[in-house]
């Protein structure tokens, strides 16, 4: 019998399923869905604005589409023909016209291509409900493609019908149109869900393009990286975050995202820098840009002046913030206070270091962290540009809606940086108003504070506290997104001694190699320490030095192998991605991506080596996943509704026949 406190909920459920028949049909559909094989999921990390490489990996399903082509057409197509087909699937709009111009018989090529694409589609749709496949297609092409995928050429009278569909598509000049839609469908079917383990922003020029692609992706989640939270803090209006974003873009000559992607005007900063540092060579601030003529010497000179101006503003703003939040315990970063401007030295850990640059026209030695009126004007105008950038705000809201500090998914733990630890392996605690936070509790707290910093509107103090927390997540020693004892920006600019540049990593990065540490972290988040995995990014895997991404006897997997071109000399490869399918876990090591143009014209793929790192004892089905558990809960509630209908505690609104 239905308990009274259930009736209210079941009455609401009855609005959607108003009869025994409606509820029964849904139970049947959901129960069948549990028996489908688990879909293929793709994990990647630290893309750092490399939009062409990112989009290629998304289009080729981390190499999964190529593997399917090899399996299916090994005996019927040469390697060259297989590569031809793969490129067509990755870039159908560009590749199809090129191929149609080069083949001797376009009609025959179209027929064969349609048949091959349909065959591949049919294999991939085996993990999906027909309704889901339909949702992946534009409404105007869905009915015909569904007919093609329902090919039954061995059934009497069906073969002629199927062949007629193909011939009519070709004869009406619509072959290319349907080839494009089938190729795009294959891309979508290849990967059920995408997990991005942080750091979409900075270094490369196309972070905004990556976000556009993610917003259009069918199922995606994001675990924020420290570079992401920095841009999110800037979008919220944090002056310290804005200063870091602008300075970093200037340092790497990456103005594409800032100016063209988000429409942030740097003209006020440029005018201020030209006037203030007109006679300053700014040699320490020359941007790290390739010497290929992309920038003129005048442009490089201006970026150096702007970078210095922004760096000084940043150090002032950060100094104010550290003093505003003494519980951050970051007094060691108050380096303007420790600078003897007359002597040209700065005191660090009791030692005086000479400054490489002694020209500080905007710094008052008596109030070193006070902004001048002109600097404050620059900050105000930059803040206005950031908070009123429509595209940036869209992307930031998407990151909040689809992202978090960490994610628990199918018994696995996903996070970008680290779980801060002491040398003895204990979780490092952070004290706030007499209460200590560590491990999962600390991550939950800073996740909430980041949201507060962006969404709070009616309490300025509360919003400021949250925005300051977002800067803390960017660079504080206890930050789970940063994981180093300091961010040595000041030292790297102004001090020659390389010892001062060192940014010591948190103990986590030495301890995470051990099974004991990985299992401890999994237990902290309520997961099975014997079957769960930690998927981690942030620190590049130095393959050239023999480092392996699989650690702690397979319990922890690091998938930052260096998507960013800036890191590839250090890592030796161009990124790791991880694939989880019904059979197990695969790790893909990618070689550098040359260009979209060469991928299309010369059919040069991003070469990948795939390694099976774990196999399931039996193939996983939807019922084994978090999605399956949610479906089972829905089934249980619908069964309760059926019982309520049958015992009369809730009335049907439409009688079943």
DSSP 530-573: TT--EEE-SS---GGGT--SEEGGGTEEE--S--SGGGHHHHSS
**pLDDT, the chain, mean:** 91
pLDDT class for 66, splitting at 50, 70, 90? confident
Q: Which residue has the higher pLDDT, 192 or 601?
A: 192
Ramachandran quadrant class, 384 (left: phi over 0; alpha: psi -120 to 50; beta: rest)? alpha
Q: State residue 657's pLDDT score.
A: 44
Distance in angstroms (rounded) separating the CA atoms of residues 123 and 622: 17
Least confident of 78-92, 206-220, 410-424, 601-615: 601-615
Strands 403-404 and 435-437: unpaired
**In the predicted structure, residue 152 carries a pLDDT above the cut 70:** no
Distance in angstroms (rounded) separating the CA atoms of residues 622 and 582: 9
Least confident of 58-62, 288-292, 598-602: 598-602
Bridge partners of 586, per DSSP, are 579, 612
Q: For the beta carbon of residue 303, count every other beta carbon within 10 angstroms.
A: 25
Q: For the beta carbon of residue 155, count every other beta carbon within 10 angstroms.
A: 10
Model-level pTM?
Answer: 0.92
Report whether 192 contacts 135 (CB < 8 A): no
DSSP state of 631: H
Burial class from Cβ neighbours inside 10 Å (0-12, 13-18, 19+) for residue 14 reads buried
Tens of pLDDT along 229-262?
999 999 999 999 999 999 999 999 988 999 999 9
Q: Which helix (H) or strand (E) holds 81?
A: helix 79-90
Q: State residue 433's pLDDT score.
A: 78
Q: What is the mean pLDDT of residues 459-485?
A: 96
Q: Which helix (H) or strand (E) holds 223?
A: strand 220-223
**In the predicted structure, residue 395 carries a pLDDT above the cut 90:** yes
Q: Which residue has the higher pLDDT, 81 or 605?
A: 81
Report whether 518 contacts 527 (CB < 8 A): no
Distance in angstroms (rounded) separating the CA atoms of residues 201 and 195: 16
Tens of pLDDT along 602-642?
677 666 677 888 999 999 999 999 999 999 999 999 999 99
User: What sign for the dihedral angle of Cα 382, 384, 390, 396?
Assistant: positive
Edge-to-edge order in the sheet of strand 220-223: 403-404, 220-223, 193-196, 41-44, 576-580, 584-590, 608-615
CA 310 to chain centre: 28
Q: State residue 656's pLDDT score.
A: 46
Q: State residue 242's pLDDT score.
A: 98
DSSP H helices in 191-330: 207-215, 226-236, 239-251, 267-276, 297-324
Burial class from Cβ neighbours inside 10 Å (0-12, 13-18, 19+) for residue 226 reads buried
Structure tokens at 121: 């589609």
Distance in angstroms (rounded) separating the CA atoms of residues 50 and 204: 5
Q: What is the mean pLDDT of residues 403-407?
A: 97
Q: State residue 613's pLDDT score.
A: 87
Report whether 224 contacts 416 (CB < 8 A): yes
Q: Which helix (H) or strand (E) holds 590?
A: strand 584-590
Report whether 202 contacts 49 (CB < 8 A): yes
Tens of pLDDT along 274-289?
999 999 999 999 999 8
Structure-derived torsion over alpha carbons of residues 606, 610, 616, 622, reported in degrees to the nearest 10: 10
């Amino acid at each position: 019998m239905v308990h009274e406190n259930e009736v209210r909920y079941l009455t609401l459920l009855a609005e959607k399923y108003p009869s025994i028949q409606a509820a029964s049909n849904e139970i049947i559909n959901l129960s069948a869905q549990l028996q489908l094989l688990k879909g293929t999921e793709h994990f990647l990390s630290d893309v750092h604005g490399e939009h062409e490489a990112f989009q290629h990996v998304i289009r080729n399903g981390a190499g999964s589409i190529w593997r399917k082509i090899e399996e299916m057409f090994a005996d019927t197509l040469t390697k060259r023909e297989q590569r031809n087909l793969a490129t067509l699937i990755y870039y159908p709009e560009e590749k199809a016209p090129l191929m149609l111009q080069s083949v001797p018989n376009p009609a025959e090529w179209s027929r064969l291509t349609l048949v091959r694409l349909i065959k591949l589609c049919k294999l991939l749709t085996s993990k999906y409900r027909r309704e889901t496949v339909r949702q992946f297609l534009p409404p105007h092409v869905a009915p015909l493609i569904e007919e093609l995928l329902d090919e039954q050429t061995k059934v009497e009278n069906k073969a002629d019908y199927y062949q007629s569909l193909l011939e009519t598509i070709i004869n009406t000049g619509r072959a290319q149109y349907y080839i494009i839609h089938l190729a795009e469908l294959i891309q979508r079917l290849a990967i059920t869900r995408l997990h991005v383990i942080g750091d979409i922003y900075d270094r490369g020029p196309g972070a905004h393009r990556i976000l556009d692609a993610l917003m259009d992706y069918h199922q995606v989640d994001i675990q924020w990286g420290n570079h992401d939270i920095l841009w999110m803090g800037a979008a919220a209006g944090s002056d310290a975050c804005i200063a870091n974003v602008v300075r970093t873009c200037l340092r790497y000559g990456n103005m594409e995202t800032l100016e063209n992607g988000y429409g942030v005007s740097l003209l006020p900063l440029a005018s201020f820098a030209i006037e203030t540092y007109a006679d300053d060579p700014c040699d320490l601030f020359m941007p790290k840009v390739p010497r290929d003529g992309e920038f003129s010497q005048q442009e490089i000179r201006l970026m150096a002046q702007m970078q210095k101006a922004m760096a000084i503003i940043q150090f002032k703003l950060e100094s104010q913030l550290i003093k505003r939040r003494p519980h951050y315990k970051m007094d060691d970063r108050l380096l303007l206070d420790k600078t003897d401007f007359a002597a040209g030295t700065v005191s660090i850990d009791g030692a005086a270091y000479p400054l490489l640059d002694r020209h500080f026209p905007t710094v008052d030695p008596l109030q070193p962290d006070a902004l001048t009126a002109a600097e404050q004007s620059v900050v105000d105008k930059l803040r206005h540009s950031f908070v009123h950038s429509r595209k940036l705000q869209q992307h930031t809201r998407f990151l909040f809606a689809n992202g978090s500090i960490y994610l628990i998914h199918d018994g696995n733990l996903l996070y970008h940086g680290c779980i801060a630890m002491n040398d003895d392996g204990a979780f490092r605690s952070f004290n706030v108003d007499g209460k200590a936070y560590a491990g999962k509790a600390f991550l939950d707290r800073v996740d909430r504070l980041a949201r507060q910093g962006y969404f709070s509107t009616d309490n300025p103090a509360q919003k400021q506290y949250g925005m300051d927390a977002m800067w803390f997540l960017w660079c504080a020693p206890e930050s789970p997104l940063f994981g180093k004892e300091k961010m040595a920006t000041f030292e790297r600019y102004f001090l020659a001694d390389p010892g001062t540049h060192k940014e010591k990593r948190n103990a986590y990065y030495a301890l995470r190699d051990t099974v004991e540490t990985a299992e401890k972290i999994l237990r902290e988040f309520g997961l099975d320490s014997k079957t769960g995995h930690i998927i981690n990014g942030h620190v590049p895997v130095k393959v050239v030095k023999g480092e392996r991404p699989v650690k702690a006897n397979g319990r922890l997997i690091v998938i930052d192998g260096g998507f960013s071109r800036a890191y590839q000399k250090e890592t030796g490869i161009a990124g790791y991605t991880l694939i989880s399918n019904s059979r197990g876990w695969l790790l893909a090591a990618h070689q550098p991506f040359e260009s979209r143009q060469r991928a299309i014209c010369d059919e040069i793929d991003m070469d990948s080596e795939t390694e099976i790192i774990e196999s399931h004892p039996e193939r996983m089905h939807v019922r084994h996943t978090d999605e399956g558990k949610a479906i089972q809960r829905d089934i249980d509630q619908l069964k309760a509704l059926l019982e309520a209908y049958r015992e009369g505690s809730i009335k049907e609104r439409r009688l079943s026949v």
